[in-house]
């Protein structure tokens, strides 16, 4: 297959698996650069050269789940567990608002008890009240009952991030114990979409046992599920988890993990066009300018960590998470400089909703009228 043919197929929204796999398998630096540059043009055309910030508040590291890859899994006894008070979380939200971030993400380990649902509901209402409804709120709080999702939506959250981790059920099962259900994950994504959330999902890239075909299928899955936002990143080991056991020298794999992640961003941008795509922190964990490379490969969202420094060391999903010792002010000014250096602008005081979502809503309205 030729590079141009594969690109044409995706650009014309003819997503045959062969083209996806061909592009994801590109090896030489020159070919990869061509791919990133095409994706960058598509980003400029469909969503513009503007980066939106979502400040992440790592609200709590308590987790009921036991995902094999994650440092916060409930059986990891080495983690000092914490949960923020409402005023601590509000302080972070206020910082984001004062610094002209259009929106924040509240993320935490999974908890499904009633007290947690109530706590988050109260927090959402309070953030809305204190920002005059101006600060956008995204949630990343795992699988919940429909009632809980609805309560949080009604309180004012408007986006939700829930990664499928891998769209291949067999691979999914190798990443999670048997009390995790792939079907429930899909159901949760459908529920969130029906409730009206702008919906984001994604996968980890470079997982043990993951093939190019799995990754191509993941991108087809994003398309079939009609996601508005894509947040994916490299899998990175955490030494106190079962999935780290198979690795003797992860350092040697870093370059490959990074390159594969950039190719996933680029191919997703070319096929999906007007969705928001995040350049995730995990890219920065592999290389200091990893997130800037993500922007150059087609991403248009960055999620700076705005968690208070006292909690950061305890929210280690994977090893070497960057900026754990820096206050958020320092991280923010250094990030702004780096983005401006790329010739992109930053969408301050804007929610930066995915164009894909607005288009979807528009066509739904037309169908119903
Ligand atoms: N508990 C929530 C939110 C926190 S975890 C949830 O699971 O949705 C957020 C994301 O961190 C997960 O979806 C997963 O993709 C990512 N993550 C966890 N461990 C990781 C690792 N070792 N490498 C890369 N990403 C990881
Ligand atoms: Fe918990 Fe999320 Fe980590 Fe799974 S990925 S162990 S649900 S924090």
Residue 110 CB less than 6 A away from ligand 2 = yes
What pLDDT score does 12 carry?
A: 92
What DSSP line would sit under 58-89, residue for residue?
A: EEE---S---TT-TT-TT-TTSPP-B--HHHH
Statement: residue 324 has pLDDT above 80: no
Question: What pLDDT band is residue 284 in, cutting at 50, 70 and 90?
Answer: very high
d(CA 153, CA 134): 15
pLDDT, tens digit (0-9, with 9 covering 90-100), for 231-245: 999 999 999 999 999
Nearest CA to ligand 2 atom 2: 109
b/e map 212-221, b = 16+ CB within 10 Å: bebbbbbbbb
> In ligand 2, which atom is closest to the CA atom of 61?
8
Tokens 């789940």: give the residue: 65
Of 207, 304, 190, nearest in space to 250 by CA: 207
End-to-end CA distance of the chain: 44
Query: In angstroms, how far apart are the furthest CA atoms of the chain?
Result: 60
> In ligand 2, which atom is closest to the CA atom of 165?
5
Q: Would you say 66 and 74 are in contact if contact means Cβ atoms under 8 Å apart?
A: yes
Residue 308 CB less than 6 A away from ligand 1 = no
Of 319, 222, 318, 208, nearest in space to 256 by CA: 208
Residue 116 CB less than 6 A away from ligand 1 = no
What pLDDT score does 329 carry?
A: 62
CA-CA-CA-CA dihedral for 299, 262, 25, 249, to nearest 10: -160
What pLDDT score does 325 carry?
A: 64
Nearest CA to ligand 1 atom 6: 142
What pLDDT score does 20 carry?
A: 97
Strand 204-205, strand 229-234: pairing? parallel
> In ligand 2, which atom is closest to the CA atom of 108?
8
What pLDDT score does 330 carry?
A: 60
Strand 159-161, strand 103-108: pairing? unpaired
Residue 3 Cα to ligand 1 midpoint, Å, equals 33
pLDDT, tens digit (0-9, with 9 covering 90-100), for 88-112: 999 999 999 999 999 999 999 999 9
């Amino acid at each position: 297959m030729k590079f141009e043919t594969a690109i044409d197929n995706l650009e014309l929204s003819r997503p045959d698996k062969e083209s996806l796999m061909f592009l994801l398998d590109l090896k030489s630096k020159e070919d990869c650069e061509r791919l990133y540059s095409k994706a960058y043009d598509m980003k400029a055309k469909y969503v513009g050269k503007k980066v939106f910030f979502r400040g992440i508040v790592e609200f709590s590291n308590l987790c009921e789940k036991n995902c094999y890859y994650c440092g916060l899994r409930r059986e990891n006894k080495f983690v000092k567990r914490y949960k923020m008070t409402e005023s601590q979380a509000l302080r972070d939200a206020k910082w984001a608002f004062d610094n002209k971030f259009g929106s924040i993400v509240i993320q935490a380990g999974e908890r499904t008890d009633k007290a947690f649902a109530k706590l988050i509901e109260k927090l959402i209402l309070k953030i809305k009240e204190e920002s005059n409804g101006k600060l956008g709120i995204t949630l990343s709080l795992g699988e919940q009952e429909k009632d809980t999702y609805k309560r949080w939506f009604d309180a004012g959250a408007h986006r939700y991030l829930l990664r499928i981790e891998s769209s291949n059920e067999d691979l999914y099962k190798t990443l999670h114990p048997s009390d995790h259900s792939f079907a429930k994950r899909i159901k949760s994504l459908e529920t969130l979409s029906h409730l009206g959330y702008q919906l984001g999902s994604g996968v980890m890239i470079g997982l043990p046992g993951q093939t190019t075909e799995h990754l191509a299928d993941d991108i087809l899955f994003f398309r079939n599920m009609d996601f508005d936002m894509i947040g994916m990143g490299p899998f990175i080991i955490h030494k106190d988890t079962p999935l780290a056991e198979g690795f003797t020298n992860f350092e040697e794999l870093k370059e490959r993990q990074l390159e594969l992640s950039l190719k996933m961003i680029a191919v997703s941008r070319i096929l999906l066009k007007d969705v928001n795509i995040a350049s995730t922190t995990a890219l920065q964990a592999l290389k200091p300018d990893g997130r800037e490379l993500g922007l150059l490969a087609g991403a248009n969202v960055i999620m700076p960590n705005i968690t208070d420094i006292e909690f950061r060391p305890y929210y280690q999903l994977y090893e070497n998470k960057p900026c754990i010792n820096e206050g958020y002010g320092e991280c923010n000014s250094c990030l702004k400089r780096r983005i401006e250096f790329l010739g992109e602008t930053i969408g301050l005081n804007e929610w930066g909703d995915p164009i894909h979502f607005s288009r979807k809503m528009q066509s739904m309205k037309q169908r119903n009228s």
